[in-house]
């Protein structure tokens, strides 16, 4: 996993609530056996007419050239539904390093963190402030300080991040390295349990 310390970027606004992982990556694209290449089908059915890449829906934000950046900003309860980690892979592959919302579904949040995509939880009010910005505005997310700042106004807020996960993100560590280091205690636990 790649280390993540700071993101300073413009953002892509998606002011829709309850964005489920079936929208992020529809099931018919889950047939791969690797983690690569999911970005081209990110939000597939919102992005294209009749499943046709030559027919982008002009109203959808990923098809509007004025919006770009490494940060997706979405309505509350982002990532609900299916546990498919392909949703996190698709966001990462497309180029997003963080998703900002006022509420995330649990499984998605874990999946995102396990892939170095940072879920940033802000208040409804702060989220509304971001949605009110223009396409040229930028946001700065500082992982160590756990803050997100609207660069043009200087408005900033802190966000929650589990200290363990923060260490992982800042250094690019993953949980498997940690779990393997615990092998002795796991084997001891097994003996005592049985």
Partner 1 sequence: MAQTLFDKIWDAHVVEKIPDGPSVLYIDKHFIHEVTSPQAFKGIEKRGLPLFRPKQTIATADHNVPTLNQHLPIKDQLSKMQVDQLIENCEKHGVELYGLGHPYQGIVHVIGPELGITQPGMTIVCGDSHTSTHGAFGTIAFGIGTSEVEMVFASQCVLQTKPKTMRINIEGNLPNGVVSKDIILYIIVKISASGATGYFVEYAGSTIRSLSMEARMTICNMSIEMGARGGIIAPDEITFNYIKGRTYAPKGADWDKQLANWKKLYSDQDAIFDAEININAAEIAPMITYGTNPGLGMAIDGNIPLTESIPNPGEKKNLEHALTYMGLNSGAALLGMPIQHVFIGSCTNSRIEDLRLVAELVKGRKKHDSVKVMIVPGSQQVAKQVHAEGLDRIFAEAGFQIRQAGCSACLGMNEDKIPAGEYCISTSNRNFEGRQGAGARTLLASPLTAAAAAITGVVTDVRELINHN
Asked if residues 117 and 143 have their Cβ atoms less than 8 Å apart, the reply is no
Is the separation of the CB atoms in 132 and 105 below 8 Å?
no
Q: CB of 170: closest distance to partner 1 in angstroms?
A: 14
Least distance from partner 1 to the Cβ atom of residue 114, Å: 4
Based on the shown chain and the rule CB under 8 A, indicate whether residue 23 belongs to the binding site for partner 1. Answer: yes
Nearer to partner 1, 66 or 194 (CB): 194
C-alpha distance across the termini of the chain, in Å = 35
List the one residue from 2, 33, 54, 134 that touches partner 1 (CB under 8 A). Answer: 33
Q: Give the C-alpha separation, 125 to 122, whole Å.
A: 8
Judge contact between 83 and 89, C-beta under 8 A.
no
170 binds partner 1 per the rule CB under 8 A: no
Please tell me the total number of residues recorded for the chain in this structure.
194
Residues that bind partner 1 (CB under 8 A): 15-18, 20, 22-23, 26-28, 30-35, 45, 50-51, 75-77, 80-86, 88, 103, 105-107, 110-111, 114-115, 162-165, 174-176, 178-180, 182-183, 185-186, 189-190, 193
């Amino acid at each position: 996993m790649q280390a993540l310390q700071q993101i300073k970027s413009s953002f892509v606004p998606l002011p829709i609530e309850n964005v489920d992982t079936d929208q992020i990556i529809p099931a018919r694209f889950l047939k791969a056996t690797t983690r690569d290449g999911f970005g081209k089908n990110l939000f597939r059915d919102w992005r294209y007419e009749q499943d046709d890449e030559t027919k982008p829906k002009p109203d959808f934000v990923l098809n509007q050239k004025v919006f770009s950046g490494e940060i997706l900003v979405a309505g509350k309860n982002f990532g609900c539904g299916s546990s498919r980690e392909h949703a996190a892979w698709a966001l990462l592959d497309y180029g997003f390093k963080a998703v900002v919302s006022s509420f995330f579904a649990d499984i998605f949040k874990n999946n995102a963190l396990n892939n170095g995509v940072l879920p940033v939880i802000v208040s409804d009010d702060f989220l509304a402030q971001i949605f009110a910005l223009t396409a040229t505005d930028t946001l700065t997310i500082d992982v160590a300080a756990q803050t997100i700042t609207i660069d043009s106004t200087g408005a900033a807020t802190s966000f929650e991040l589990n200290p363990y996960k923060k260490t992982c993100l800042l250094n690019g560590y993953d949980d498997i390295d940690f779990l393997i280091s615990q092998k002795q205690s796991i084997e001891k636990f097994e003996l005592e349990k049985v």
